[in-house]
Amino acid sequence: MTAVLFDFSGTLFRVESTDSWLRGVLAGADVRLTEAELTAAVRALEAVGALPGGGAPARVPEDLADTWLVRDQSAALHRAAYTGLARQVALPHPALHDALYDRHMSPAAWAPYPDAVEVLRALRERGIPVGVVSNIGWDLRPVFRTHGLDQYVDTYVLSFEHGIQKPDPRLFATACEALGADPRKTLMVGDDRRADGGAGALGCTVHFVDHLPAADRPDGLRPVLDLVS
């Protein structure tokens, strides 16, 4: 392999828990809930899939169905999809739904998987260029910079900046072109078999990792180093 592409959420980074997400927003807004109220709200937000990077919604409301399918094609669609899901859950103030969306874009809401730095550093030491290809509605570069991983990434290909989303092979092709890499000698690493599997249409080798909380997946990325050796 002469290049490696990585997905973002669930692959290199994992978003904070729904509990932490909601507590952070409530604290910032100086809004207080009882523990019972907070637990109920967390469960409801998880059920509707309101946290980007968290679990998928059990059901997408009919009025959001079309937006949901193309949510990663623009910043406006992404915000509309996720705030729409969140608004299914009653919160003490309507502004909290937008505040929740804003918080998930904060670098503090994300943590790299325990072996992410190790693996990216090793790839850099081997002279293997790295790209990040993500279905997303906002600029994730500050997350990488804040956590010290930006120095190991050579290019970012983000769906909302191109108006297309994985599994469209054009996103992967754009990343390979930016890296000067032959897709047939490029490894794509992701957690979504449908979205990230789209790289296979170009001839890329695709390796999947489990989308788990960071603490539950301490070494899921290390096999990548064997695949490129």
* Residue 101 in tokens: 């969306």
Pairwise CA distance, residues 145 & 102, whole Å: 18
DSSP string for 79-119: HHHHHHHHTTS--SSTHHHHHHHHHHTSGGGEEE-TTHHHH
Q: What is the CA radius of gyration of the chain?
A: 18
Cis peptide leading into residue 213 (ω within 30°):
no
CB 108 within 8 A of CB 215: no
Q: How many residues does the chain have?
A: 229
Q: CA-CA distance, 129 to 126, in Å (whole number)?
A: 9
Query: How many Å apart are CA 182 and CA 105, to the nearest integer?
Result: 32
Give the mean pLDDT of the chain. Answer: 97
Tens of pLDDT, residue by residue over 93-144, are 989 999 999 999 999 999 999 999 999 999 999 999 999 999 999 999 999 9
Q: Which residues contact 229 (CB under 8 A, 6 or more apart)?
A: none
Counting Cβ atoms within 10 Å, is residue 65 exposed (0-12), middle (13-18) or buried (19+)? Answer: exposed
Q: What is the pTM of this model?
A: 0.95
Q: What is the pLDDT of residue 229?
A: 77
DSSP for 140-188, please give it.
-HHHHHHTT-GGG-SEEEEHHHHT--TT-HHHHHHHHHHHT--GGGEEE
pLDDT score for 60: 96
> What structural domains and CATH numbers belong to the chain?
3-14+109-227 (3.40.50.1000), 16-108 (no CATH)
Tokens of residue 225, six digits: 């180093």
Cβ proximity of 75 and 165 under 8 Å: no
pLDDT of residue 184: 97
* Measured distance CA(167)–CA(122) in Å, rounded: 28
State the pLDDT at residue 64.
Answer: 97
Classify the phi-psi angles of 206: left when phi > 0, otherwise alpha if psi is within -120 to 50, otherwise beta. Answer: beta
Cβ atoms 192, 9 nearer than 8 A? no
Spans of the chain, pLDDT less than 70: none
